[in-house]
Amino acid sequence: MKKTPTRLADGRELIYYDLRDDTVRDAADRRPLEPTVTRSEIRRDPLLGDSVAVASHRQGRTYHPPAEECPLCPSRDGRLSEIPDSSYDVVVFENRFPSLAGDSGRCEVVCFTSDHDASFAGLTEEQARLVLDAWTDRTAELSQLPAVKQVFCFENRGAEIGVTLGHPHGQIYAYPFTTPRTALMLRSVAAHKEASGGENLFDAVLARELAGERVVLETEHWAAFVPYAAHWPYEVHLYPKRRVPDLLALDEAARTEFPQVYLELLRRFDRIFEREGGEDTVSEAVSEAVSEPPTPYIAAWHQAPFGPTGVPGAEREDFALHLELFTVRRTSGKLKFLAGSESGMNVFINDVPPERAADRLREVASS
């Protein structure tokens, strides 16, 4: 991997990650951009104990532009974009409309490929490994910023998720606090460690799932399963078998195997709503006439916070790096909405039994 940092016209940082060591990246951003102005503010809820980012400047962010005006495509044919060069492998740059900025953290955009019509599932294993290396490098760099407590790498895909740009990309949020979801997991880890005499809860969960019926995919270094209490209709958790707190601690064997495993999971997600078998069965004639759009999903890396966890009894090394992959689609043409119980009380109601979801994700394995 070759890393080439540069600056955009308004001062934001941009980094090229290339597969070839001899690639030269010297294109300048020729847009007449004014310095970015952000108004990000973190406000703490005194009753719930969590934090909300208030970012009014995001109201003016780019919203569903036509493909020929995509800001994530490379600059070419006289059209200037966020990426000054005419091609790229992987690019990371500071978000022009960040939810977090300055003392409130940082937000970055990760472009997985210059091909506007591609998807992460369509990448080669070499390309997917480069994205993993970029995630790891950015985690290392962002963890050194004084304001940053936790780094979150994720991808939103699909208009149903709320994506405003169709180009294959993800984001990285660098939070100035330990997120509520992570703190909740750490509290459970601390309580289990005390009650069990020192057992790690993540290890116990992984061992239980590997011995059960919800395993979707297992290799030498990775395990993917539908969790016992899955919140979403189709939800898979991907764990390295050797517990590590973050992407930085993955060994080379796990890194080498990751692209194969992750690409297979994404491709299965794209096949789970094909009109064949189970509740989605229709006649062959109708099946040929109707094509299901790509599965919308969220892919979220959970990493340990940097420094003290802030949770008594839970050390950073107790946390287990893992990825959660889930879709808001519950069946063909129907979405899972977060209605009264979920949004009002944070009590999820899942219409698809996790065991059935695991069966379906095994059924659609690549031949």
Tell me: the pLDDT tens digits for 51-79? 999 987 776 666 678 888 999 999 999 99
Residue 27: is its pLDDT beyond 60?
Answer: yes
Q: Could you read off the pLDDT of 79-113 as tens digits, one per residue?
A: 999 999 999 999 999 999 999 998 999 999 999 99
CB–CB of 306/169 below 8 Å? no
Q: What is the C-alpha separation between 94 and 12, in angstroms, rounded?
A: 6
Q: What is the pTM of this model?
A: 0.93
Residues 284, 247 contacting (CB under 8 angstroms): no
Closest CA to 237 of 267, 205, 282: 205
CB-side neighbour CA atoms (13 Å) of 190: 14
CA distance 230 to 352: 9
Q: Which amino acid is at 210?
A: L
Report the alpha-carbon distance of residue 315 to residue 202 in Å, rounded: 13
Residues 255-307 pLDDT 10s: 999 999 999 999 999 999 985 444 444 334 334 434 567 999 999 999 999 99
| Strand 334-335, strand 329-331: pairing | antiparallel
How far is the C-alpha of 213 from the C-alpha of 225, rounded, in Å?
9
User: Would you place residue 164 in the very low, low, confident or very high pLDDT band (cuts 50, 70, 90)?
Assistant: confident
User: Which of 57, 116, 169, 221 is an active site residue?
Assistant: 169
Say if residue 174's pLDDT is above 80.
Answer: yes
The dihedral region occupied by 102, where left means phi > 0, alpha psi between -120 and 50, and beta the remainder, is left
Give the residue from 187, 106, 183 showing the smallest Cα distance to 148: 106
Cα(110)–Cα(90) distance, rounded to whole angstroms? 7
The residue with tokens 């991907």 is: 238
Distance CA 94, CA 104 (A): 14
Residues 214, 226: contact at Cβ < 8 Å? yes
Q: Catalytic annotation on 169?
A: yes
Angstrom distance (rounded) from CA 85 to CA 15:
11
